[in-house]
Homo-oligomer: A and B are copies of this chain.
Amino acid sequence: MIPSKGPSKIPSLGYALLGLLQKPSSGYDLRKTFSSTSMKTYSDSPGAIYPALARLEKQGLIRGKVEQGSGMRRRQLFRLTPKGLSELKTWITRPITRDDLLWGQQEIMLRFAFCDTTAGPAAAIALLKSLEAALKTYIPALHEELQTIQSIVPLSARLAFECGVQATETLLEWTRSAITTYEKEEKGGTS
């Protein structure tokens, strides 16, 4: 007999919401965060967010409570449940694979951005190290592919590919500098 819990695959927007809900917020708050900050890649439309929140609540990852203080507009504050926090932590701390790289830095950076508050600085360093490792095997593969397409594709296609390689190399540099920043922070403990 299979436990009735489905695999509950959560799309990227769902994790973005979980991460933001470390601070209790209403759907409207979340929409404004998406539309006003650099998270514009995520949809700020009600048709995306409210159903997503409903799904997360049905999965027991968040819990909404209607705020009805005197002279206040009706609004529903959502917050993470323990289960939601653990789901978020699992997602964030999962080691970086090559597939993660193929599917875009976007999601990797979202995970890292939430890492500090969710899983702590040690997890942040671990995530960075696993990213570094993944990049170190990925970049040579990119160079190899560049060699093979070198002569057969038109100039603009080759340049576009080189752009991707450069971006990946920049990412590796950033990763290394982020690691040292973190390690300094750990020792120096300015807080």
CB atoms of A156 and B114 under 8 A apart? yes
Interface segment out of the listed A9-17, A56-64, A69-77, A158-166: A158-166
CB atoms of A38 and B104 under 8 A apart? no
Query: In the complex, which residue of chain B has the Cβ closest to the Cβ of A162?
Result: B174
Given contacts A154-B117, A170-B167, A171-B167, contact A38 B112 (CB under 8 A): no
B residues near A85, Cβ cutoff 8 Å:
none
CB atoms of B156 and A124 under 8 A apart? yes
Give bound CA distance, A38 to B142, whole Å: 8
Given contacts A117-B154, A154-B117, contact A38 B161 (CB under 8 A): yes
CB distance from A10 to the nearest CB of B (A): 19
B residues near A170, Cβ cutoff 8 Å:
166-167, 170
Give how many copies assemble into the complex.
2
CB distance from A190 to the nearest CB of B (A): 11
A135 in the interface (beta carbon within 8 A)? no
Majority DSSP secondary structure for residues of A touching B: helix
A182 in the interface (beta carbon within 8 A)? yes
CB atoms of B178 and A159 under 8 A apart? yes
B residues near A112, Cβ cutoff 8 Å:
156, 159-160
CB atoms of B113 and A157 under 8 A apart? yes
A115 in the interface (beta carbon within 8 A)? yes
B residues near A48, Cβ cutoff 8 Å:
none
CB atoms of B178 and A116 under 8 A apart? no
CB atoms of B160 and A103 under 8 A apart? no
Greatest chain B CB density within 10 A among A106, A109, A160 is at: A160
CB atoms of B154 and A116 under 8 A apart? yes
CB atoms of B41 and A155 under 8 A apart? no
CB atoms of A145 and B38 under 8 A apart? yes
